[in-house]
């Protein structure tokens, strides 16, 4: 399985941008890059996903390196509600495991007022 590597924890100040990095050097051509987050005592929540091009939605932006071996989730203005564990996950688009999410340890984001 293609693996991802993320920092264990990061800190941010409220109302400042946050860049959450993810390395996925063994990514294959049909793997999608997904980001989910999990707030305390809640189920994970979908944030964004992409394949090759950068993506934007109402929650965040996803910047994907040209070689696709790394990506960055960008929260444009962190709020206290954004404090969560952020998971970067590769989702296969082939084979019997396609669409499955294999969660790694994620990055715990703390947001200071």
Partner 1 sequence: DAMVIQNPRYQVTQFGKPVTLSCSQTLNHNVMYWYQQKSSQAPKLLFHYYDKDFNNEADTPDNFQSRRPNTSFCFLDIRSPGLGDAAMYLCATSRGASGASEQYFGPGTRLTVT
Q: Is 59 in the site for partner 1 (CB under 8 A)?
A: no
DSSP labels for 40-87?
A: TTS--EEEEEESSS-EE-SS-EEEE-TTSSEEEEEESS--GGG-EEEE
Residues 64-93 that bind partner 1 (CB under 8 A): 87, 91-93
Instruction: Decide whether 26 or 103 has the Cβ nearer to partner 1.
Output: 103
Interface residue with partner 1 among 40, 42, 67, 113 (CB under 8 A) is 42
Interface residue with partner 1 among 10, 51, 55, 74 (CB under 8 A) is 51
Contact string 92-111 vs partner 1 (x = CB under 8 A): xxx-x-xxxxxxxxx-----
**62-90 burial, b for 16+ CB within 10 Å, e for fewer?**
bbbeeebebbbbebeebeeebbbbbbbbb
Count of residues that interact with partner 1, criterion CB under 8 A: 28
């Amino acid at each position: 399985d293609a693996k991802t590597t993320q920092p264990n924890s990061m800190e941010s100040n409220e109302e400042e941008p946050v860049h959450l990095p993810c390395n996925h050097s063994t990514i294959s051509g049909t793997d999608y890059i997904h980001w989910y987050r999990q707030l305390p005592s809640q189920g994970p929540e979908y944030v964004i996903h992409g394949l090759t091009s950068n993506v934007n939605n109402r929650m965040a932006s996803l910047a994907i390196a040209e070689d696709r071996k790394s990506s960055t989730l960008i929260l444009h203005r962190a709020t206290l509600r954004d404090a969560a564990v952020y998971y970067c996950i590769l989702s296969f688009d082939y084979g019997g495991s396609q669409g499955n999410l294999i969660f790694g340890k994620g990055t715990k984001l703390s947001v200071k007022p």
